Every structure is written in C-alpha cells, then in structure tokens.
C-alpha cells in the first residue's frame, strides 16, 4: 500500500513539473513588445488611428500596455500605460492568460479596485491573437467577435 502511494505521488510531481515547464515555455515565447494590428469589440473594428498607439509588452510575469490619448473620441497621440502581472493557464488544450492591472500611468491601484481580465490566446511565430470579454466577465471559447457579444478580438505582431 505504501509503495503504490509513493509511486502515485512521484507521477503527480512529474506531471506538475512538466506543466510548470510548459508554462515557462509559454512565458518565454510571449516575452517582448507586441503592436496591435487589429482590434474588434463586439464585432466592430477599432480605427487604425487608435490601434497604432496600442502596444503590449511582456517580461517575466509583468505586462505593460500602452493606449491612445483621445480628445472627443479621436486618437491624438500615445497616451497612458497600464502595468500589471499575468498568469498563464493551460486548460483543455486552450491557452489562457489572466492579467491583473496594478498601476495606471505609474500610480498604484489599491488592491480592492484592481481588475483582472481573462483571455484565450494563440501564438504563431510573431503573431499573437487574444480574445477576452468586455469588463473581464468570463472567457470566450472561440476567437471571434460577433455584434453584441462583448468579445474583444485582438491581433498583435511582435516588434521586438
């Protein structure tokens, strides 16, 4: 009875180590700066003027997102930044990331006001696709953004 329990524990630890290695591989593959090249919100494409100012950067478990500065809804120039941490989960063959915003424009956000957004993502060479729900409510199961769905579908290209 003791030997089978030890064997089961050893197998479990080996599986956990293999999972941790896969997470590390995903994290290393995401590292770098990514430029948004396409963004749909609920089936509606964002303007190229807006998305040209949006970049995501991943390093370790940290992420920084830049956004556009808009006046009356019109993009003018690069705007502020959001900083945060992210975790990766591999569930049922899907890759999921959870990003928690901890700072906006360099100022820390009190913990009770922090938002966590959940995405599915796929990485192919230098192209990253992500799909997440408006306001972090749930996780989409597909890479599609239909009218009224609240799904953000974002495509990015690695710039460095």
Least confident residue range of 8-12, 58-62, 71-75, 115-119: 8-12
Q: What letter does residue 21 receive in the DSSP assignment?
A: H
pLDDT value at position 153? 94
Whether 1 and 70 have beta carbons less than 8 Å apart is answered as no
52-80 pLDDT per residue, tens: 888 899 998 888 888 766 666 666 666 77
CA atoms 95, 96, 101, 104: torsion sign: positive
Query: What number does CATH give the domain 2-158?
Result: 2.40.128.280
Q: How far apart are the first and last CA of the chain?
A: 54
**Residue ranges per structural domain of the chain:** 2-158
For the chain, what is the largest distance between any 2 Cα atoms, rounded to a whole number of angstroms?
Answer: 71
Flag whether pLDDT at 19 surpasses 90: no
> What is the rounded (10 degree) CA torsion for 101, 105, 109, 113?
-60
Q: What letter does residue 136 receive in the DSSP assignment?
A: G
Flag whether pLDDT at 145 surpasses 80: yes
Determine the Cα angle at 96 with ends 95 and 98, to 5°.
Answer: 155
pLDDT value at position 91? 73
Inter-CA distances, 21 with 17, 26, 31, 82, Å: 6, 9, 15, 28
In the Cβ-directed half-sphere of 35, how many Cα atoms lie within 13 Å?
A: 11
Between these two residues, 46 and 16, which has the higher pLDDT value?
46
């Amino acid at each position: 009875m003791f030997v089978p329990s030890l064997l089961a524990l050893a197998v479990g630890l080996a599986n956990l180590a293999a999972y941790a290695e896969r997470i590390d591989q995903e994290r290393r593959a995401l590292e770098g700066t990514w430029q948004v090249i396409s963004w749909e919100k609920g089936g509606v494409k964002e303007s190229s003027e807006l998305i040209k100012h949006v970049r995501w950067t991943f390093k370790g478990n940290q992420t920084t997102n830049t956004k556009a500065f808009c006046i009356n809804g019109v993009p003018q120039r690069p705007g502020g930044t959001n900083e945060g941490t992210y975790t990766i989960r591999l569930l049922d063959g899907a890759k999921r990331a959870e990003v928690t915003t901890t700072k906006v424009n360099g100022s820390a956000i009190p913990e009770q006001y922090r938002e966590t957004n959940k995405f599915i993502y796929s990485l192919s060479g230098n192209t990253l696709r992500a799909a997440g729900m408006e306001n972090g409510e749930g996780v989409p199961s597909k890479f599609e953004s239909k009218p009224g769905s609240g799904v953000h579908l974002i495509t990015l290209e690695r710039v460095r």
